[in-house]
Structure 1
Amino acid sequence: MKYRLRHTTSYSYSWAVDISHHLLHLALPELPRQRVKSCTVTTNPNAGRIAAQVDHFGNRIANLTIDAPHTRFDVELRAEVEVDPWSPSDPKATPAWEDIREALCGDGFPEPVRESEFVHDSPMAQASDEALAYAQTSFAAGRPILEAVVDLTARIYRDFRYDPAATEVFTPVAAVMQKRAGVCQDFAHLQIAMLRGLGLAARYVSGYIRTLKSGDAPESGLRGADASHAWISVWCGPALGWIDLDPTNNLICSDEHVTAAIGRDYGDISPVRGVVLGGGPHRVGVAVELLPVG
């Protein structure tokens, strides 16, 4: 699938910002099933200083400074990307989830060292007794790991209401459990916390999902389109590696998702963050289009 992506973030300030520093997780990565044909990030005002780097998780990041007074700051990503379709082998043929947990524990010395980093709680994906109890229904003794995770994904999709007004950026997992509602970020944090509570490795993935285009049937639309999207990645052992699932849409991710960054939770990889001097109260606007081309 070939896509044309446009992602715009705009900040409007009540009065002038004298200087601002920003960290961007926008530049798309090259992945085994994702090929970036073009990728350009622009800002208005133009950045006086910009430094491109790779972070701890392998994401492409940019640090930039706007050193001219401004009352508005715009960041735009434009990209063309190709994503290959993919489907896993039979989920019932994957290893038992306890075997994966044992490998990740490794009696304190796990062989999959990089993967084991994602077993532990992170600030926005904290395990709770209630979340763990909910997850355990899907993880019967000896159940194949991918079959269990697919079942958990379907239950979250069924039992939790998609409601953009129900939560805020920093709503904790415990509150999402109580509300039984949220958005893609909440459902990703929730499922990650559940899987980590079971001793499994789970990552937070930010990116984009195909936008409903003119002429599409309304029912073909995906929840979380037209904005930055989030889903999870679970480690299923050395043979299968990481497999991405989308609890907001009850999907094993194939060619309708474009990956931007991977981390422990949203706090590691928020698309745009910054520190400003001045500005006062401000408004934020975000617009995303991920449209098939060709």
Structure 2
Amino acid sequence: MNQNSVPQSDSASILYRVKHRTHYQYSSDVSVCQNQLRMQPVSGGNLQCHRSQIRIEPAPTTIESHFDYFGNHVQTFSIESVHRSLVVTASSVVSIEPQAVIDEDSTPPWEQCSSSIELAPAEPLIDEHRFNSPLVRCGEPFAQYATSSFTPGRSLLAASLDLTRRIHADFRYDTTVTTVNTTPEEAFAIRAGVCQDFAHIQIACLRSIGLAARYVSGYLRTTPPPGKPRMVGADESHAWLEVHAGKDVGWIGLDPTNACMVSTNHIPICVGRDYGDVSPMRGVVLGGGAHTLKVSVDVEPIEDKSKS
């Protein structure tokens, strides 16, 4: 995601219509498939979900819904009829409220947040986001990289924003050099990757100095170049992170891909320790041969609220 494609945040809430379409085409028959989806937003924080639905073609044999350990909405389904195509479309209407403006120097010193985090009753999982997770491992190289930003006594937000901007400056956005399975260590070594890699790297840096940081998946509103029409399906899935700044401030969203704090242009869907906890769609198939995958995301601001 290019920083220049992100519009300035609005001071008022924004209503969005979001459509995420995933299409698998198989070269031979699939007799059975089982899948798990995390594509539906959950109201909380500055997001209000007004409506959300999942359409699956062909129609599933079984489907059930639950909330996972991190509070994400999960749909689990199976298709037990022969098929060569699978199309999943998630459609939602959400509103995003602007976050309160936080002065960079108003948050506690980062050492205070690192040495002892007081767990708020509504946030029982904070401490869990301070340690290793399946895809993000703490390490000395990450701690050393973070040290330039986290100088003694510096405000947590000022230091975290500085780290966010350094990652944006030091790492090249390149869709050709990493895959969904690339580790943070590998992306860190080549100083390149995509939003998933940058979020993982910053989380690794923060956890390596004792801070709580979690992965966020969602969507980012973008704008077309001047004079060009908006293209349906041109918006992207996106990833960023949140760092915990103590019980009085809570989670603060940071986007290292775009060197900014999270704004009303960011639409969160799921949170977790790393990408493995929030993958939009995963599953297994019996048969199918080779397959092709097409994904499109459309994020449309709704100016007339009666159309929502």
Normalised by the length of structure 2, the TM-score is 0.88
The percentage of counterpart residues that share the same residue type is 40
User: Per the alignment, in what secondary structure is the counterpart of residue 156 of structure 1?
Assistant: helix
Paired residues of 1:130 and 1:177 also in contact (CA < 8 A):
no
Map of 2:78 onto structure 1: 65
Matches of 1:71 and 1:272, distance apart in 2: 18
Task: Encode CA deviations 1:187-219: one digit per residue, 9 max, x unaligned.
Answer: 00010011000100000000000032585789x
User: Is 1:251 aligned with 2:243?
Assistant: no
User: Is 1:37 aligned with 2:50?
Assistant: yes
Instruction: Name the count of aligned residue pairs.
Output: 287
Map of 2:238 onto structure 1: 229
Paired residues of 1:103 and 1:110 also in contact (CA < 8 A):
no
Map of 1:168 onto structure 2: 179
Task: Encode CA deviations 1:154-183: one digit per residue, 9 max, x unaligned.
Answer: 000111111111100010111111111100
Higher helix share: 1
Matches of 1:280 and 1:131, distance apart in 2: 41
Map of 2:301 onto structure 1: 292
The residue correspondences of 1:51-200 to structure 2 (distance < 5 A) are 51-104=64-117, 114-200=125-211
User: Per the alignment, in what secondary structure is the counterpart of residue 206 of structure 1?
Assistant: strand
Shift of 1:124: 1.3
Matches of 2:136 and 2:299, distance apart in 1: 27
User: Per the alignment, in what secondary structure is the counterpart of residue 236 of structure 2?
Assistant: coil
Normalised by the length of structure 1, the TM-score is 0.92
Shift of 1:87: 4.0
The residue correspondences of 1:204-215 to structure 2 (distance < 5 A) are 204-213=215-224
Map of 2:274 onto structure 1: 265
User: Per the alignment, in what secondary structure is the counterpart of residue 228 of structure 1?
Assistant: strand
How large is the RMSD of aligned CA atoms in angstroms?
A: 2.2
Could you list the runs of 4 or more consecutive aligned residues of structure 1 that deviate by over 3 angstroms after TM superposition? 109-113, 213-218
User: Per the alignment, in what secondary structure is the counterpart of residue 157 of structure 1?
Assistant: helix
Matches of 1:183 and 1:216, distance apart in 2: 27
Matches of 2:227 and 2:172, distance apart in 1: 24
Which amino acid is the alignment partner of residue 162 of structure 1? Y
Map of 1:277 onto structure 2: 286
Paired residues of 2:108 and 2:246 also in contact (CA < 8 A):
yes
Shift of 1:94: 0.8
Matches of 1:212 and 1:278, distance apart in 2: 41
Paired residues of 1:87 and 1:252 also in contact (CA < 8 A):
no
Which amino acid is the alignment partner of residue 273 of structure 2? R
User: Per the alignment, in what secondary structure is the counterpart of residue 74 of structure 1?
Assistant: strand
Matches of 1:235 and 1:293, distance apart in 2: 31
Matches of 1:265 and 1:98, distance apart in 2: 23
Map of 2:212 onto structure 1: 201
Shift of 1:267: 0.5
